[in-house]
Structure 1
Amino acid sequence: MSKEKKNQTSADEKQALIDLQHIRTQVVQDRTIFNLEAVGRNYKLGQAYKSVRNLRLTDKENIQLQTYNDYLLRYKNFLELKPLIEEKARPSYPAGESYLNTYNKLRFTRGKVLVMVHASIFTQVQDRIHRYVLDLGRDGFWATIHVVHGGKPAYIRNYIRDKAPAGVVMVGAIPVAWFEMDDDFYGAHAEFPCDLFYMDTNGTWTDADGDGRYNAVSGNVTPEIWVGRIWTPTLNGNDVALINNYFDRNHLFRKGSLGHSRSALAYVEDDWTGFDDCEMDLMTPSAYITKYTNPDITDADLYKTEINRTRSFVQLCSHSSPYVHSFRIPAEGTTEWIDRSYFRDERCPNANFFNLFCCSTARFTESDYLGGWYIFDKTGGETNMGLTVVGSTKTGSMLFFADFYEPIGKGSCIGSALTQWWQARGADHDLGERQWFYGMSILGDPTLTWWKGAVPGLQEPADGSVFNHYPRTMTFRWAPVNIPGATYSLEIDAFGAITAGQWAAQSFRSFGVYHNITGTTFTHNFVGAQPGRWRVRAKVGDRYCSWSEWSYFRFTV
């Protein structure tokens, strides 16, 4: 940069700081200046947030993004169908968990979830959706199934608002609300999918020129709920094979059979070296975080290597597009690329969750979009461990990472954490915040987080075992989780021991729970000649992980 240009940039930034006395952001050329006093929190990365290099859409082919009109051409027939959403019957739990078939807010403490499924695929994905609803119930969510036969975003938003859920999982090409700006970065026009429209159930969204794109929002824009998209990169978002495979892997993760980790990766490209560990230490101890911020080594090959190590969370900061990530090589003055075909055809990611600080990588309306291949797994080859991506459908992404990672560290799922991140942004958004944040979306299941996959595998006694020995001494065995230092809790239940004809959990009680077990075996004298069941969960640090499913046995004497 010339001395004259550098002096002009400095002068512009000083003027922006004066202008910032009453607003939170000011975009100055290729940077955004944030007024941290107005933002209202002291961040570890406060110095880095004061002046942030703007993300830019970067693609080796100089692609043109799909427009709203392109979207209409592809989905117009469905959007013009009679508005109709049909609620389906919930699947039933087996006899031992029949008490989960009835809603009780004391039992389903995480709230209600709407699982909205595109009508054209419901029959083909129904079995997986049913199993997913049962999995959510065991996790404390009351989930219901809603088949979308037609309707535009405004109709769907009103339907969601009337149901008052904690969140929504949209399966398939559920209609998309688009937002447009004529004052995006560098004064450009931008139009993009905007799931904030669904998350904010009580703000007023307007389309002043009636062209189908929202362009203004007023009132309290703080989101009340979270929304996740299970929208495939193939077959216009409705690829049944990919969706069924996704829910199969989701179920395996919840059983502890897909792989799990507590570790994290912060991979930060040249323009944001001050992001350090991206404040992920509020989610997991710093000893478990690998970080790369040195411009001399953050190339494409190293990212490929690191993304294929078993990790819970990865944050990548890279100029990108819906199709590629870019990695600047300063010593050579060149750029390296990772195309979506790498994840699609060569090596699947080996981490579970991703925060992609990358332009438009989560623009799910683009065919073959890169963000989708972080979580979907085509037939053949390796197994994709990815389940959830947080990213953006436009130029821009998340900042103030602490407001996202801290809630996860305190026990929130990814969807709830993103909602809390939005709430930290306040009830209204200035221009810079709209430019940076209005494309934020969740791809995959928002109800997950790392500890929900750290589930011990039950070994002995096997499910369905029948015993006729006395004394009724039993030894329970389970496989450890793959996290050093974990301890375990074992719960044993005896049918009818607390309340006649019931399992203890049916009356919100426990028969026997043993904590702080350092090994993977436990000996116990069972109470009587009756059915019993057992389950185990891990504790990692101060975090209790998810329970295993119940395993049943019976004594005859």
Structure 2
Amino acid sequence: MKRMIVFLSILLVVALIFVGCTQSTPPQQNKEGLELTTKSQTIAVLIDQETYSQAKPEIERYVEDIKNDLQAKVFLYHQKWQSPQEVREQLLSLKDDNLKGAVLIGEIPYVYFETSICHLEPEFVSDRYYMDLENSSFTDEDNDGRFEEENYKGSLTGIIWVGRIKPPVGGVEGINLLKNYFERNHQYRAGEISPTEELLLYAPNIQQLPPPMIQEGDKMVEGTPRVLTLEKYLENIRDQLTLHGSSDILYLGDEIDILVNASRDEYLEALQRDYEIVSFHSHGTAAHHVLEDFGETISAEDIKNAEPKSYFYFLYSCSAGDFTQENYIGGHYLFNGNGLMIYAPTAPSMAGVGEIREHIQPLALGLTFGEVFVLNNYGGIGSLGFPNAILGDPTLRIRPKIGTPRIEVDVTEIDFGEIKIDFGKLLKESQEYPYAPPPEDPLKNFVKEEVIGEGTIRIENVGTGKVVLRSWHAYLINEKGARAEISVEWKKDLLLPEENATWKFTFVPSEEGNYTGLAVINTNDPDCPTIVIELRGKGI
């Protein structure tokens, strides 16, 4: 089904123009740390010295496991880390070695962002300072030790994943939790643990569709709400999670259990099954989930005592991943039970019950959780509003990787030529006055080719594995800072070997001037993780 996304404004600052695919740089030698292999990608493992001294055998076996599973070069660093800047500098020293991600174990410094954005807390923790290593828009103008969220502009390329393995408690108990986690991690990699290949999805209530907008006189007003029955709601969810082809479905319809409007006790009971993935949706804090319809909460202590039997969790629950808090609830999912990886926000967040589908497809193709995190969340504007964290091991996979994806792109730039601004001005006016009746046929008084610039790129999979195309962003801006309307149209975001797809870009300026910009598409090609196309055109 043809889909279209219109990017009306993207808050990006790009200092350098990259064209085509970003390529890996051959690894340098003579790095400090423990170098364990010489393959192209690099993983960094950072741990505080005290934790390392008490769990050294488990940590070194874990590093060997990563090396063997990913055929990666791994650097292990253990010391007393003094500041976030020191951690960032260590990671920056590996950028030329094709650094893909970092695992932070124990007490590793973190940074806060402060914001006035209404849905977020005044401050929140985020590891984007370590993920976005080439970015210079981290500012602390008031010198309070917190970066200003409003000044941060996400990078288009060069993002790495970061995972935190930090127990919810300290002392001997925390060290024992770490040791048990790494033992469980090793058993999973060795095939000694085999989760039931099923998904549990918990939704607190039926999320109704928004009412349709209808025209009433010269205004657009809300029509009659569209009410979903429970049966239809469950059908819609299953359809969303199984909408891809047979080659990239993680679960069939009967392998998905859905709890809607279930109580605290019903959810805790469901956690006694060894589901492969649990996707949980509710309000909450770092200390508990809130089930508003029942007037109940599920506390971190409840999760600790339940010892959940499932393995991978997507907790779409506000602040569940805030690892700075003692006894944070995400930590108890990870360490008390069978947990291996948790995906959770570190601040108030919003997500629909279908959000998990964006993870299911690439996980089915053998990508690691870290790779999926970058694929879905970054590449410009991806998690700016909703800070998310990986708790646990981002190097794990759910399914074995088959083949290697490789892409070829036929062009590295698109020149839209000279385009008249009349149609763009009409569209801009209708956007500024959204309740005005839309033109019946906005193009009827124009020659399409004169007012809409079009250009295409052809992406081909020349490898042996499946290619996933995700997190696409595009923008065009003129000398005065005016942004043109840019749209992207495509039919495929999954390419089997020897398949290709054409992506069409359209350019509609509303002001005169020379426009330049970029189109960016994230991929799972290890040698070309980001397709970058230079865009230009002129409004006349």
- TM-score, with structure 1 as normaliser: 0.56
Note the residue ranges of structure 2 that are not aligned, 5 or more in a row. Answer: 1-5, 12-30, 209-232, 243-247, 402-495, 497-540
Distance 1:156 1:189, change over 3 A: same
More contact order relative to length (CA 8 Å, sep ≥ 6): 2
Give the Cα–Cα distance (whole angstroms) in 2 for the partners of residues 268 and 284 of structure 1.
20
Alignment of 1:93-492 (within 5 A): 102-105=37-40, 111-140=41-70, 141-164=72-95, 165-185=99-119, 189-204=121-136, 205-215=138-148, 216-218=151-153, 220=155, 224-235=159-170, 239-270=174-205, 272=207, 276-277=237-238, 279-281=240-242, 283-292=249-258, 294-295=260-261, 298-329=262-293, 334-344=294-304, 346-377=305-336, 384-396=337-349, 400-423=355-378, 426-428=379-381, 434-435=384-385, 437=386, 439-451=387-399
Shift of the alpha carbon at 1:115?
A: 0.8
Give the Cα–Cα distance (whole angstroms) in 2 for the partners of residues 402 and 259 of structure 1.
22
Give the Cα–Cα distance (whole angstroms) in 2 for the partners of residues 223 and 441 of structure 1.
18
Moved over 6 A (4+): none
Contact between 1:299 and 1:328, CA under 8 Å: does it hold in 2? no
Query: Which letter does structure 2 place at the counterpart of 1:192?
Result: F
Distance 1:398 1:116, change over 3 A: farther
Distance 1:244 1:201, change over 3 A: same
Give the Cα–Cα distance (whole angstroms) in 2 for the partners of residues 237 and 277 of structure 1.
44
Shift of the alpha carbon at 1:154?
A: 2.4
Give the Cα–Cα distance (whole angstroms) in 2 for the partners of residues 319 and 366 of structure 1.
17
Shift of the alpha carbon at 1:22?
A: 2.6
Give the Cα–Cα distance (whole angstroms) in 2 for the partners of residues 236 and 272 of structure 1.
42
SS for the counterpart of 1:395 is coil
Give the Cα–Cα distance (whole angstroms) in 2 for the partners of residues 326 and 196 of structure 1.
27
Note the residue ranges of structure 1 that are not aligned, 5 or more in a row. Answer: 1-19, 26-85, 91-100, 106-110, 378-383, 454-541, 543-557
Distance 1:145 1:360, change over 3 A: same
Q: Percent identity?
A: 26
Per-residue deviation, residues 321-349 of structure 1 (Å, max 9, x unmatched):
111112233xxxx41221111221x2211
Contact between 1:261 and 1:310, CA under 8 Å: does it hold in 2? yes
Shift of the alpha carbon at 1:192?
A: 1.1
Give the Cα–Cα distance (whole angstroms) in 2 for the partners of residues 366 and 227 of structure 1.
19
Count of aligned residue pairs for this structure pair: 338
Q: Give the RMSD, CA atoms, in angstroms.
A: 2.9
Per-residue deviation, residues 272-316 of structure 1 (Å, max 9, x unmatched):
466825954365132353242643xx2222211222111111100
Contact between 1:222 and 1:428, CA under 8 Å: does it hold in 2? no
Distance 1:152 1:348, change over 3 A: same
Contact between 2:124 and 2:347, CA under 8 Å: does it hold in 1? yes
Contact between 1:231 and 1:237, CA under 8 Å: does it hold in 2? no
Shift of the alpha carbon at 1:385?
A: 1.1
Structure (1/2) with the larger helix percentage: 1
Query: Which letter does structure 1 place at the counterpart of 2:64?
Result: L
SS for the counterpart of 1:144 is strand
Contact between 1:166 and 1:226, CA under 8 Å: does it hold in 2? yes
Distance 1:299 1:87, change over 3 A: farther
SS for the counterpart of 1:239 is helix
Give the Cα–Cα distance (whole angstroms) in 2 for the partners of residues 236 and 277 of structure 1.
44
Distance 1:180 1:89, change over 3 A: same
Contact between 1:355 and 1:391, CA under 8 Å: does it hold in 2? yes
Give the Cα–Cα distance (whole angstroms) in 1 for the partners of residues 112 and 400 of structure 2.
33
SS for the counterpart of 1:206 is coil
Query: Which letter does structure 2 place at the counterpart of 1:228?
Result: G
- TM-score, with structure 2 as normaliser: 0.58
Give the Cα–Cα distance (whole angstroms) in 2 for the partners of residues 409 and 24 of structure 1.
31
SS for the counterpart of 1:371 is helix
Distance 1:158 1:184, change over 3 A: farther
